Amino acid sequence: MTGLLRVSHDGDVRVEDIAAAVKAAGYQVRLPVRTGDSDGGGTERAGSANAREGTGAAAGGAVESGADEFRNRLRLAVASGVLLALGFAARWILGPGVPASSAFLASTALGGWMVGRRAFGALRARVVNFEVLVVVAAVGAIAIGDLPEAALVVFLFAVGETLEAAGVTRTRKAISSLLELAPLTALVKGPDGLEKEIPARDVQVGDTVVVRPGERFPVDGVVRAGSSHVNQGPITGESMPVPKGPGDEVFAGTVNGTGALEMVSTRGADDTTLARIVHLVEEAQLEKARHQKLVDRFAGSYTPVVVGLAVAVAVLPPLLLGRPFEPFVYRALALLLVACPCALVLSTPVAVVAAIGNAARNGVLIKGGSALESLGRLTSVAFDKTGTLTEGRPEVSDVLPAPESGLGPEEVLRVAAAVEGRSEHPLAAAIRARAASAENGRNFESIPGRGAKARVRGRNHYVGSAALFETDLGVGLGELGDAGRRLEAQGKTVAYVGTSRRVLGLVAVSDVVRREAGPAVRDLRRAGVGRLYLLTGDNRGSAEAVTRVLGLDGFRAALLPQGKVEVVRELADAGRPGSLGMVGDGVNDSPALAAADVGVAMGVAGTDQAIEAADVALMSDDLGRLAYAIRLGRRAVGVIRQNIILAVALKAVALVLAAVGLLPLWLAVMADTGNTVLVILNGLRLLGGR
């Protein structure tokens, strides 16, 4: 899935020999540029830094080769489809003959080029997989003179493989695009106080790095000087920017707010939290790639059994009973013809292509058959909070006037908005957006770490924390203090409004639950999803409040990306044999999306990294589409199973008749063609419905 192959070996084995073995299995190899040993021996003596650099080079090569593979598959599939259409046109206009046959054969050759290479590699490795089954089906159809069927089988399989390649290419891009979140350069302050811009990869542990307002942090570290608010949602998933000052930890890839910060690097560029997210995505995709499709598992048994049965029919009666070879060879040939797995091969790709087309029409992007099958087995879903179940932006949720102030909620909000009129604090915009008027106070002054002050209607007014009023101004909060603590326990951010003598009220800001989240959760229950969880990097109060409002089954809060992956695997193991889906939209969700059986990204609101790491994207950001996608997946799995049962049952009857000599060759061909038509028509039913 990631295009990376890690091989452990000793110094006696050359890298070129390993590459030759991989090529012999039917895969292309692109060796990364070596930055350590130059002897080609591939020993581990190059050291950890070179090993990581080599891994990065391999990842970059994987993205490039993945895009090349997708383009090659697309070109071959299109060419195969055009020739297939020309073949049918020639047959309709000119009748059966050389032009039509040539077009069908050319379509089969182009569509089956990459399939044949993979099948050959599988056979060399003594594995019978789906590609081998496709080649057997195509060769069998050609052998009985049914060239259109051979071309159709190969073309439809090529289309399915192209869709899979497109999904895999996006997965590989997710890894490289994650790396782009961290800046390429860093502003390092030397012992002499001079600042110098250097490549971020050259930052050493203990270096002092200067991060200006609006810039991304190049490495992980601890703030040494300055104060600011940092948007670390890309890494932790928190919905609100976090205040940072001396002693606070910061992460690579997060965005600095309005204040300049000096930080001391605690990790190198190749060991940051962001770099670890990249490795988590790689590992999760490699683990997911080990799962086989239903038909792949079946193919491993079907083909050897059929071939063995045909050989037994042709050889055993003459050898054991002294019968002539000719009639039993004829029966064996009829058996092979009727066993030609065209219908079995088409059982999956027709259903997959039809279902994916239906989903795309309804605003859901499903990246291939594996994702579709996993959707159909979903029994548990875990949600990210910020931007998935909530709006992902702070909004005013509560306005409480002090009883003795004589003011109404709107008046308290207008005063707060006037004080915050010139503030760049992340919560100020939410307060101004909710206020009915846009009055600006005079003589605005920011109070670092506490709040803000401005002159409103001839008097100084304050907006800030409880500490600003109780400690700095010596003003008691009274009943509002208890109310504020209750709101903070729910994960809300509380700002008090007042003068130097009394508190007028409070304003609570939070990330509100999306309107469609409640109906979507209920629809998932009706679709058969029994367990729903919340996984978030935000605080416990926010997580508990959202869980309670939506009626979820549980939550885990304050999770970093590694923690989300561990919880996803824990929940997936607990929910077997069904599969687990993870729904998210942020960079910090990418490893969990990749680790889940089905990763679902919010399309428009989601980051590119989340969309590329996921198996399914909800392009309209409508959570209600998830239940539809699950129902479609269940239908698709049902249709695939029906097709396999239909194909195998009819084959079984025909095989028995062929083995006892009651099935002539012409009827074997008819049975095979009719079976194929039934499977195609059944699969196309998935094009309909919402």
Contact between 461 and 454 (Cβ < 8 Å):
yes
Q: Please state, in angstroms and rounded to a whole number, the distance separating the CA atoms of residues 457 and 563.
A: 50
User: Catalytic: which of 220, 270, 384, 621?
Assistant: 384
DSSP code, position 126 = T
Q: Please state, in angstroms and rounded to a whole number, the distance separating the CA atoms of residues 324 and 209.
A: 88
Q: Please state, in angstroms and rounded to a whole number, the distance separating the CA atoms of residues 419 and 658.
A: 89
Please tell me whether residue 186 adopts helix, strand or coil conformation.
strand
Beta strands in 75-179, from DSSP E residues, in sequence order: none
Please tell me whether residue 321 adopts helix, strand or coil conformation.
helix
CB atoms within 10 A of CB 562: 15
Contact between 189 and 210 (Cβ < 8 Å):
yes
Q: Please state, in angstroms and rounded to a whole number, the distance separating the CA atoms of residues 686 and 366.
A: 14
**Encoded tokens for 126:** 């003594």
b/e string for 366-380 if b means 16 or more Cβ within 10 A? bbbbbbbbbbbbbbb
Contact between 593 and 336 (Cβ < 8 Å):
no
Name the residue type at position 575: G
Residue 296 CB-density burial (10 A; 0-12 exposed, 13-18 middle, 19+ buried): middle
Name the residue type at position 390: T
Q: What angle do CA 59, 61, 66 make, to 5 degrees?
A: 95
Residues in the chain: 690
CB atoms within 10 A of CB 420: 27
Which residue is associated with the tokens 């942020």?
Answer: 586
Q: Please state, in angstroms and rounded to a whole number, the distance separating the CA atoms of residues 583 and 621.
A: 11
> Which residues have a Cβ under 8 Å from the Cβ of 172 and sit 6 or more positions away?
1, 2, 3, 59, 62, 63, 66
Q: Please state, in angstroms and rounded to a whole number, the distance separating the CA atoms of residues 605 and 611.
A: 10
Any alpha helices (H) in 194-341, and if so which ranges? 233-236, 273-288, 294-321, 325-339
Q: Please state, in angstroms and rounded to a whole number, the distance separating the CA atoms of residues 206 and 193.
A: 15
Q: Please state, in angstroms and rounded to a whole number, the distance separating the CA atoms of residues 371 and 467.
A: 51
b/e string for 264-283 if b means 16 or more Cβ within 10 A? ebebbbbbbbbbbbbbbbbb
Q: Is the bond preceding residue 32 a cis peptide, omega within 30 degrees?
A: no
Q: Please state, in angstroms and rounded to a whole number, the distance separating the CA atoms of residues 414 and 403.
A: 17
DSSP code, position 390 = E
Question: HSE-up of 295 (CA within 13 Å, CB side)?
Answer: 31
Question: HSE-up of 530 (CA within 13 Å, CB side)?
Answer: 10
In the residue annotation, 622 being an active-site residue is answered as: no
Catalytic residues: 384
